[in-house]
């Protein structure tokens, strides 16, 4: 991590009033949360990802898909926010407007204490009705028995409240994320490769509106050319440095 990069990023953040943070899988890596594909190990390595993460796959074998997500949900529940998550909580108070837009489904930003978190791809801890009757259960302890459980309203299966292959993002969440990106002074992009759209388009919106773009990632990303500053380090190391110095 370059001291010069941290100093430059600190200067940009200090001058901003409205900040948006876009986070991806690298944000939670140091909490021990594997990416979707990294979790396809052992028993699960033989399965096509789309069989485990699509409406068609769930309809064909709801028990299999439920067990896969139950295992991942338990892993996310056991994980703890890392120093990067906690640094963002401290950074929040320094801006007139501060929001986190995340591609992660582990809920760690909220558990760390961040107040305005937009979960583009849903939350693996929550469940909802497969038939879209409107039922959503936030706490796994409130789930009825069964693998998968039956919806208490309509009797259909319950499913994870995440975005599967072939599904659209929640339109209201995406629209708000785009509004925030187009009106911020600074966008901090942490731990995302920049390959998955529409999330990867948010830094372009911010840059087009005049915001400064700061990337925190130990590896090169597809968004590096958009950035004003690139900090080559992990979230858990770089973000506390930004917080301490801002």
In tens digits, the chain (246 residues) has pLDDT values of: 455 799 999 999 999 999 999 999 999 999 999 877 777 666 566 678 888 999 999 999 999 999 999 999 999 999 999 999 999 999 998 999 999 999 999 999 999 999 999 999 999 999 999 999 999 999 999 999 999 999 999 999 999 999 999 999 999 999 999 999 999 999 999 999 999 999 999 999 999 999 999 999 999 999 999 999 999 999 999 999 987 755
Q: HSE on the CB side for 26, CA within 13 Å?
A: 23
Q: In this structure, are 99 and 174 located in the same domain?
A: yes
Residue 19's nearest CA partner among 80, 124, 92, 102 is 92
Structure confidence at residue 36 (pLDDT)? 75
**Shared domain check, 186 and 243:** yes
Tell me the CATH number at 216. 3.40.50.1220
pLDDT of residue 127: 97
Q: Would you list the DSSP string of 97-115?
A: EEEEEE---S-HHHHHT-S
- Spell out the residues 6+ positions from residue 42 whose beta carbon is closer than 8 angstroms to its own: none
CB-count burial class (<10 Å; 0-12, 13-18, 19+) for 65: buried
Are the CB atoms for 63 and 88 separated by under 8 Å? no
pLDDT value of position 1:
47
Domain boundary among 104, 131, 162: 162
Catalytic residues: 121
Please indicate, yes or no, whether residues 190 and 70 belong to a single structural domain of this protein. Answer: no
Show the domain range for 2. 1-32+81-121+169-246
pLDDT score at 46: 65
Residues 242 and 194 reside in one and the same domain: yes
73: domain CATH number is 3.30.1600.10
Query: Domain check: are 233 and 197 in the same one?
Result: yes
Run of H or E residues at 95: none
pTM of the entire structure? Answer: 0.93
Rounded Cα–Cα distance for residues 46 and 70 (Å)? 18
Residues 15 and 129 in one domain: no
């Amino acid at each position: 991590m370059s001291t010069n990069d941290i100093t430059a990023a600190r200067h940009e953040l200090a001058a901003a009033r409205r900040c948006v943070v876009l986070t991806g899988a690298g944000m939670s890596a140091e909490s021990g949360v594997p990416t979707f594909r990294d979790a396809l190990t052992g028993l699960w390595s033989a399965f096509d990802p789309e069989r485990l993460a699509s409406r068609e796959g769930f309809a064909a074998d709801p028990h299999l898909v439920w067990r896969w997500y139950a295992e991942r949900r338990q892993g996310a529940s056991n994980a703890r926010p890392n120093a990067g998550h906690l640094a963002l909580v401290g950074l929040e108070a320094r801006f007139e407007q501060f929001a986190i837009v995340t591609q992660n489904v582990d809920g760690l930003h909220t558990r760390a204490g961040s107040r305005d978190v937009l979960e583009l791809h849903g939350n693996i801890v929550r469940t909802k009705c497969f038939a879209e009757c409107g039922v959503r259960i936030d706490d796994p302890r409130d789930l009825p028995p069964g693998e998968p459980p039956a919806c208490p309203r309509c009797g259909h299966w319950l499913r994870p409240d995440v975005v599967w292959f072939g599904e659209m993002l929640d339109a209201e969440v995406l629209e708000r994320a785009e509004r925030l990106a187009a009106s911020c002074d600074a966008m901090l992009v942490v731990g995302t490769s920049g390959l998955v759209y529409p999330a990867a388009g948010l830094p372009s919106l911010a840059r087009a509106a005049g915001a400064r773009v700061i990337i925190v990632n130990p590896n090169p990303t597809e968004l590096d050319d958009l950035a004003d500053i690139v900090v080559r380090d992990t979230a858990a190391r770089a973000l506390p440095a930004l917080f301490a110095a801002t």
